[in-house]
């Protein structure tokens, strides 16, 4: 009898929703893995747009100034639904869960791994924010390794004043849409880009970006961790990805196992088969024992 397979919990990034994983979950399931997704609070079915977005004629100044309806969402409010989904997945994977987070979803999976390390087979960052203990995502962004990121050029208004990092994914401005594509979907076909852009919500609560990472060697450090590097990423540049890997390895101990895709920020669209192969390999691996000097 073959050993039970790990179950996957897949967490989307900023402005995205569970449909991020629509091309990956069927592949995982075809290989016998359970794969669970969700819309985080403030995202997907839980997203609430500012009223100015729907007014006609559209007023860019009003859109840039209106307080976000999701400004009050906290990181803990995002962490807990994922903890619950991990518990559900553990019952499907005989207690073994591979927790995957894309981009800003890395902040959530770090928090979850700190809370329930005993339920995790592995934690996987897909071009994700793997931020050292005590640091916020916002504090990381000005680092020199992040200087080539294009995504900040998409931000609308004063994020501190509106309580969210706002984009206008539905903009018809050609320059803005070109920047949106270059930031997230540089190697994605036109039709796929148009569809994904239509799925994006405009406001990402600042709470996740302002909440300090709270990961410890005693809990988070017990979980084998993997990082999938995306070499053509213009949202989280490769240099920034490598900086985060080195920083967490240096402060938490142990070593992050790295994998590399020659892709943009969105290999779930451009290379779902290659991405799934990496995840499947992680799912069937035996847990890596940390050496005594890494404890």
pLDDT over threshold 50, residue 294:
no
Tens-digit pLDDT profile for residues 214-254: 999 999 999 999 999 999 999 999 999 999 999 999 999 99
| 141: CATH | 3.40.50.1820
Q: Is residue 294 part of a domain?
A: no
Nearest-angstrom CA–CA distance, 158 and 65 = 7
pLDDT over threshold 90, residue 36:
yes
pLDDT over threshold 60, residue 112:
yes
Task: Categorize the per-residue pLDDT at 161 as very low, low, confident or very high, splitting at 50, 70 and 90.
Answer: very high
Residue 167 CA: distances (Å) to CA of 200, 203, 269:
9, 7, 20
Q: Is residue 2 part of a domain?
A: no
**Cβ atoms of 112 and 83 closer than 8 Å:** yes
Give the sheet arrangement for strand 7-11, strand by strand: 35-37, 7-11, 97-102, 120-126, 225-230, 257-261
Tens-digit pLDDT profile for residues 167-213: 999 999 999 999 999 999 999 999 999 999 999 999 999 988 899 99
Q: Is residue 271 part of a domain?
A: yes
Q: How many domains does the chain have?
A: 1
- Which range is least confidently modeled, 63-72, 120-129, 205-214? 205-214
In whole numbers, what is the pLDDT of the chain averaged over residues? 94
Q: Is residue 149 part of a domain?
A: yes
Long-range residue pairs from 84-87, CB within 8 A, at least 24 positions apart, any chain: 85/9, 85/36, 85/38, 86/9, 86/112, 86/116, 86/119, 86/120, 87/116, 87/119
Q: What is the pLDDT of residue 41?
A: 97
Q: Is residue 278 part of a domain?
A: yes
Q: What is the pLDDT of residue 288?
A: 43
Q: Is residue 1 part of a domain?
A: no
User: Structure tokens of 191?
Assistant: 């039709």
In sequence order, which ranges of 19-94 are alpha helices (DSSP H)?
A: 25-30, 60-65, 75-92
- What are residue 233's DSSP bridge partners? none
Q: What is the pLDDT of residue 3?
A: 60
Q: Please state whether 128 falls in left (phi above 0), alpha (psi between -120 and 50) or beta.
A: beta
- CB-based contacts of 44, cutoff 8 Å, min separation 6: 12, 17, 18, 19, 201
Nearest 5°: phi and psi at 122? -165, 160
Q: What is the pLDDT of residue 290?
A: 35
Q: Is residue 295 part of a domain?
A: no
**Cβ atoms of 280 and 28 closer than 8 Å:** yes
What residues make up the domain containing 122? 7-289
pLDDT over threshold 90, residue 1:
no
Q: Is residue 276 part of a domain?
A: yes
Percent of the chain past pLDDT 90, that is, above it, reads 92
pLDDT over threshold 60, residue 287:
no
Tens-digit pLDDT profile for residues 134-145: 999 999 999 999
pLDDT over threshold 60, residue 31:
yes
Give the closest residue to 192 by CA, choosing from 123, 109, 272. 272
User: Structure tokens of 186?
Assistant: 């540089």
How many contiguous H segments (helices) and E segments (strands) does the chain have? 12, 8
């Amino acid at each position: 009898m073959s050993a039970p397979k790990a179950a996957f919990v897949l967490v989307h990034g900023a402005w995205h929703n569970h449909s991020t994983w629509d091309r990956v979950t069927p592949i995982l399931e075809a290989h016998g893995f359970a794969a669970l997704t969700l819309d985080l609070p403030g995202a997907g079915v839980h997203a609430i747009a500012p009223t100015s977005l729907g007014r006609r004629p559209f007023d860019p100044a009003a859109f840039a100034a209106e307080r976000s309806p999701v400004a009050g969402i906290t990181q803990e409010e995002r962490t807990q639904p994922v903890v619950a989904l991990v518990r559900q997945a553990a019952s499907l994977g005989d207690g073994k869960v591979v927790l995957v987070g894309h981009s800003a979803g890395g902040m959530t999976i770090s928090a979850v791994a700190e809370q329930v390390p005993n339920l995790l087979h592995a934690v996987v960052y897909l071009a994700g924010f793997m931020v050292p203990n005590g640091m916020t995502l916002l504090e990381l962004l000005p680092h020199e390794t992040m200087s080539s990121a294009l995504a900040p050029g998409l931000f609308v208004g004063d994020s501190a004043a509106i309580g969210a990092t706002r984009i206008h994914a539905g903009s018809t401005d050609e320059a803005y849409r070109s920047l949106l594509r270059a930031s997230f979907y540089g190697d994605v076909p036109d039709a796929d880009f148009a569809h994904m852009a239509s799925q994006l919500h405009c406001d990402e609560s600042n709470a996740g970006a302002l909440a300090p990472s709270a990961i410890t060697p005693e809990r988070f450090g017990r979980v084998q961790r993997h990082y999938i590097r995306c070499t053509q990423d213009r949202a989280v540049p490769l240099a920034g990805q490598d900086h985060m890997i080195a920083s967490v390895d240096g402060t938490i101990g142990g070593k992050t196992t790295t994998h590399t895709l020659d892709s943009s920020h969105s290999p779930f669209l451009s290379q779902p088969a290659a991405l799934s192969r990496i995840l499947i390999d992680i799912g069937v691996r035996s847990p890596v024992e940390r050496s005594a000097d890494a404890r």
